[in-house]
Every structure is written in C-alpha cells, then in structure tokens.
Amino acid sequence: MTTIDATPATNKTPSPTNPRRRVYLPNTKYIPILATLTLLLIMYFTGVANYENFGQPSVVVNLFRDNAVLIVVAVGMTFVIITGGIDLSVGAVISMTTTLTATLLQAGWPPLVVLPAVLLLGSLLGMGMGAVIHYFKVEPFIATLAGLFLARGIALFINQSSIPIRDKLWKAMSEYRIVLADGVVTKITSVTAVVVVLIAAAVLAWTRFGRNVYAIGGNADSALLMGLPVGRTKIAVYTLSGFCAALGGVLFSINSTSGWALQGQGLELDAIAACVIGGVLLTGGSGYVFGSLLGVMVYGLIQTIITFQGDLNAAWTRIIVGLLLFGFIVLQRVVTRRAR
Amino acid sequence: MTIIKHRLFWPSVILVALLVVNMFTANQFITVRDGHLFGVLPDILRGSAPLLLVALGMTLVIATGGIDLSVGAVMAISGAVACLLIKDLGNQNAVGSVLLIMAVAIGASLLLGLWNGTLVAVVGIQPIIATLILMVAGRGVAQLVTDGQIINVQSSPYAAIATGHFLSVPIAFLIAIAAVVLTVLLTRRTALGLLLESVGGSPTASRLAGIRARRITIMVYVVSGGLAGLAGLIYSANIKSADSISAGNLIELDAILAVVIGGTALIGGRFSIAGTVIGAILIQALQVTVVAVGVPSKATLLFKAVIVVALCLSQSTTFRQKVFGRFKSRPAVTAEVPA
C-alpha cells in the first residue's frame, strides 16, 4: 500500500530547499497519478511508433468522444471511492436512463422535460442508496448491488428491446459537430464530459464539500468527531454518482439515438478499474478526478490500439485487453513502489 | 427473542417463505419417482450447486478481506477445457477418462486461482483489480479454447455430475455439500479458520504474529479458483455443452450477494459458511420461485431486486430498530465499513 497524504491538492510541492537533495522528487501523493500519466504517454507513443496515423490529433480527440460516458461515470465513482464506498449501480442506472429517455420521447414528452426528469431520477436513486448506506449501515457494495438489480429491473420492465429515439433535439445533439481544428471534430458528448471533469475537479479540490469527502474517506469516525456532516456528505456523494450515471445514460442515448435495457452492462467495473488505475485508493481518502480521467484514457487507448491492430477476433480482444491492463497495473505498481 | 436477533434469522425466514410459496404453486414439491427425489425442492438444491461452490470459495476469499471477480471466467474456462477434451475422446462414456479430464479442468482452474493469488499477495495489486484482469481475459481464453463455438458433448458420466442421482439425491448437490463439509472441517476443526480471519483482520499484524499471511492469501484464491472450476464443470455438464459466453455470467455478483446475505462482512476478518449455504440456496430458490409463481419474464429482475432490498434492510440492525420502534440507548459511534 502506498502511504498517501489524505489532504486535498491545495498545497504545492515544497521547493527543494535541502541542498543535499540531488534529484527532484514529486510530492508523494502525486506519484500514482504521475506514474499513470507516464505510462499512458509511453503507451501512446508506442502506438504512434507502430501504427500509421496513430499520431494524428483526432485519435486523442476521439478518445474523449468514444469514452464520454465512461468519463462522466468515473467522475461520480471517484467521489464515492474517495469516501471509501463503491457504487455498482452505475451501469444499470445508465440502462434505466436510456430506456426511460427513449420511451418518454417516443410517447411524445417534450425533450426539455425528459432531460431534467431522468437526471433527477438517477440522482434520487443515488440518494436513496446513500440514505440506506448511511442510516441503515448497509455495506455500500450490497446496497448498490441492490440498486443495480432495481435499476436494471426497472429498465427491463419498461422495455426489453432496443427503442429508437426520433426526437429532433436528440437527433440534432447527436449530429452536431464541433470543429476544433482542421480535420479535428468532436461532439457535444465529449465537451460535456470535459466540462464535468473540470467542475468535479474544482469541487473536489477547492470546496468544503470536497474536503469533507477526503476527510470521511480518511477516517469517518474522526470526521464525525470533528463535527463534519458525515451523513449529508455520504448521501450527497451517492447522489452525485447517481446523477453522473444518469448523465452518462443521457450521453449514451445521444450517441446511439436509442435506448436499450442491456446497455452499460459491466460498465461499473470499467469505471472502478479506471479510478483505480488513476490512483484512487479503494480504501478511500486518496485520489483525484484527473487520475480517474487518466484511467479512462488508459482504457480508451487500449481499445484504440486494438482497433488499429484490426485483425483481432473477439476472443483475442478480451485477452489483449486483460494483458495490457495487467502490464499497466504491474508497471504502475513497480513505479510507485520504487518512488517510495 | 434472541433467535430473532440472530443474523441468519431473516434470511432463513425468507428462504422458508420462498419454499412454502413453492409448496403451493408447484405441482410436486418433493416426491420419489423412479427411485429419485423429484420435485421443486430437489430441483432447487441441484440448481444451487454451482452457486454454492462459487460462493463457498468466495466466502474464504472475502474472509481474508479480498474479493474474486474472476469466478465466472474460471467457470467458463473449466467447462470449455472439459468439453473440448471429452469431445476428442474415442468413447465419451469411459468413466476413467472423463474423471481424468475433470481433474485436468480443475487443475487448470487451480492454476488460474494461483495466478490471482500471486497478483494479490506477491505483486500487491488490490484484489478487485487483480481478479478483474482474469475476469476480462479469462472469458477470452474460454472463447479461444472453444474457438468461439458451443461445444456439445454426449457423455453420460459427465452429464451425471449435474443431472445424476446417488442414493436418490442429486449428485450435484452432494458434490456441493461434500465441498461445504470439507471446508467446514478444515476451517473450524483446525486452526486454518482462525488464521484466515486473522489475515482478514490485518495481514501485517498476522505476519508479525508469525502467520504466513502471504501463503494463506494465495491459498484462498487457489481454493476459490478450484471451486469455481468444479462449478463450471457442473454447469456445463447440466447443459451438456460448453458455452464460453454465458457460463458463469454475472455469477460473481450472485456469489458475493450469497456471502453477504450469510453474514460475512466484506471487509474480512470473519466468515460464516452456514450463512453462505443459506444465502446461495436462497438465491436459487428465488430464481425458481419467480418462474413458478408466474412473474412475467420482464419483471423477473425487478422481483429479485425487491427481495434483495428487503433482505439487505432486514439484516441491518439499525433498520430493525428504527422500524420496529425499539429505541433503547443509542449505540455508540461504530466504525464505518469501507467496502
């Protein structure tokens, strides 16, 4: 286990005043995230060296487009994991949101009512799970597992097959292209994901709420004794994760202009893995939103490399994803261990 | 009143309730036909065998504070290996060869468990991530073994481990119970259980106290892998084929649920095998009941969710106090449970 200072990232790395210090050592709490960044860059440049056109800026931009949902979900997951909890329901909340969105739009509801409604529903489900976890002392793993069954159960109950979305606003959002540079275009979904990351990072680093999140993850008892609002913060964190998952579902429905109850299966594990790769400790109290973003980038880059490789069947794709994940985690482990 | 406070009271009540429901809805609850036990109850017991085996391994892993997400993938690999080898047999009904092949498949599963254990205990990766690697890659390996096809076998000794009867009791259930009894003997009649709980409580303190924490951690993952392999054999024997996609799909969540219903805490440090057995049979009974009562297929998961929510809440002491209005002295601040 890496020992990492649980305070938020407000204080800068102390300047090396000690004359005997010969090498620059980054603040220990940034080591996991720096290790991830370094390995990510190595992976990227390996891709550039091996595949034609890998170095084009659109590859990086498309990472955000293809993984917008995972980024948003991982942001919510980061908050939950930092408090020492876990949220398994996110994939199911995505499926519930896409199904509900598609059904309501098909029924002729105005899109500007549907959008807040589904976001509210996701948040409420998250809030419910948070309340159960806090007030009834049910383990987060189990409470959110029940949430998983509930959300996917609702989705399957509404409709078991894929529902197309023909709403004008959704179509427009899906087809709208934002030109960043010549030949580099992106979609609304990726911009949303980036905005969510920036807001969440700011909230986690600079607000009282963010500080409470770290404090609870470090030691919930101490946080309570210090007079911090443990219950409120915990419930807020799961509400936030529910909101992010619902937003992820909306992005999913925009991307695919359809809703499907089996959407997002296993996405919760991808999100958790992304957080952990990004240096968020599952024991709580340590981690950054940008770390999780890097984790998602690692996942996305693995997928991109497999796409560029091109000649892999389903079986080999799974194995290569596993192997790359393995290589990455072991390397990260070695790097962080050395750095201590 | 003390029996109501027992942590297995509510799960048992729900299990009995489900069985009672089945008693009224099913045509035959339990009868003897052709010398075999027949009906819903033996069906539930037989069907619960794979989950029971997986959950048993999971209990030990969770007791040490870990988690094993790869069990479903290990099930798929073990079934794929067994079916591939049996298909190539000259005589698929040769008992000796089938047994040997089953041993090979379980051996492979033990190796996969060793891989997990090494990643967790030697390399020091967090269990959820270490086993996630095999969960992702393992299903790919299974697909590779079966070449993406579903391999059908026509081996009666192989099918017998899932559908056969011994002394009129389903063999699958006997295998599961044998594994449970063996585990109980090994953990509760030797110091092993104590060591497991000690490692789960604190690996460092255990090591300082002279316990080979690393070896114990590796061992539980190996056992979990082996039991998952056995479960995979029973699963594939039941459908007489190897399906690398759906074998053990999402069973890790059901297994963890069974373990937690049984009162084993996810933070490790204590475990209850009896609880896991009740939990696993409860989940299987739930699945059978949903069909028996005629819940429409689209509402199956919703029904399960409602039961799971009820179970979670019934197990929470705080919830019982609040609902049943037993406001005695407020409990002291208890340690929060990180997952």
Q: Give how far A314 is from chain B: nearest CA, Å.
A: 7
- Report A:17-76 residues touching B (Cβ under 8 A): none
In a domain, B334, yes or no: no
Give the CATH number for residue B23. Answer: 1.10.3470
Find the domain containing B39 and state its range.
2-323
| Residue A11: band (very low, low, confident or very high) from pLDDT cuts 50, 70, 90 | very low
Residue-wise pLDDT for A191-249, tens only, equals: 999 999 999 999 999 999 999 999 998 888 899 999 899 999 999 999 999 999 999 99
In b/e form, how buried is each residue of A19-30, taking b as 16+ CB within 10 angstroms?
eeeeeeeeeebb
| Residue A1: band (very low, low, confident or very high) from pLDDT cuts 50, 70, 90 | very low
Rg (CA), chain B: 21
In a domain, B338, yes or no: no
A284 contacts B338? CB cut-off 8 A = yes
Question: Looking at beta carbons, which residues of chain A come within 8 Å of B298?
Answer: 156-157, 160
Mutation site, A134, A318, A332, interface B, largest B CB count within 10 A: A318
In a domain, B333, yes or no: no
Two structure tokens written together for B131: 């086993």
A283 contacts B140? CB cut-off 8 A = no
Look at residue B253 in the predicted model and tell me its pLDDT: 85
Residue A327 touches partner B, C-beta closer than 8 Å = no
Burial of B116 (0-12, 13-18, 19+ CB in 10 A): buried
**How many domains does chain B fold into?**
1
Of B143, B306, B318, the CB nearest to A136: B318
CA atoms of B61 and B65, how far apart (whole Å): 7
Residue A166 touches partner B, C-beta closer than 8 Å = no
Domain definitions of chain A by residue range = 28-339
Residue A141 touches partner B, C-beta closer than 8 Å = yes
Residue A194 touches partner B, C-beta closer than 8 Å = no
Question: Phi, psi (5° rounding) for residue B168?
Answer: 65, 10
Candidates 2.60.40, 2.40.380, 1.10.3470, 1.25.40; correct CATH number of A28-339?
Answer: 1.10.3470
Give the single-character DSSP code of B231: H
Of B123, B126, B315, the CB nearest to A282: B126
Of B128, B266, B313, the CB nearest to A136: B313
Residue B321 touches partner A, C-beta closer than 8 Å = no
Its pTM stands at 0.82
Give the single-character DSSP code of B150: P
In a domain, B268, yes or no: yes
Question: Looking at beta carbons, which residues of chain B come within 8 Å of A146?
Answer: 305, 308-309, 312
B143 contacts A150? CB cut-off 8 A = no
pLDDT 10s per residue in chain B (339 long)? 566 667 778 788 888 888 888 777 766 666 766 666 667 777 888 888 999 999 999 999 998 888 898 999 999 999 999 888 888 887 777 788 888 888 999 999 999 999 999 999 888 888 888 898 888 888 888 888 888 788 888 878 888 887 777 777 788 888 889 999 999 999 888 888 888 888 888 888 888 888 888 888 999 999 999 999 999 999 988 888 888 777 777 788 889 888 888 877 777 788 888 889 998 998 888 888 887 777 777 777 888 888 888 877 777 777 777 776 654 545 555 555 554
